[in-house]
Amino acid sequence: MSDLNQRIEAMYQSDKRGAWLLVILLWIAILFVLVMTWPYIPDTGVRIVVLIGAAAVLIFNTASIAAMLSHYAEDKEFIYGLDIKHLDAAKERK
């Protein structure tokens, strides 16, 4: 059973790294677009709206990924255990 737990933990850690990597890439992309387009936005009101929109996307997306990972941590035995059982069954069929 410890081998199963190790496999579950490895899959969870891999998913966790991937999720945070995507969040970091999202932050980089949005901030890059914001910086590159900033000089082309002449109106202060529009700049504020763009800044608030970018902040909302970043904050809500980061929070949703954090919540997802929290739920994965709570149910990882079920989620990844089921995946591992199906992967093992597929390997046996081949």
pLDDT score at 1:
56
Residue pair 9/36 in contact (Cβ under 8 Å)? The answer is no
Average pLDDT in the 18-38 region?
98
pLDDT at 52 over 80: yes
Rounded to two decimals, what is the model's pTM? Answer: 0.82
High-pLDDT (> 90) share of the chain, %:
74
Residue pair 26/58 in contact (Cβ under 8 Å)? The answer is yes
46 falls in which pLDDT band (50, 70, 90)? Answer: very high
CA of 53: how far to CAs of 39, 43, 56, in Å? 17, 15, 5
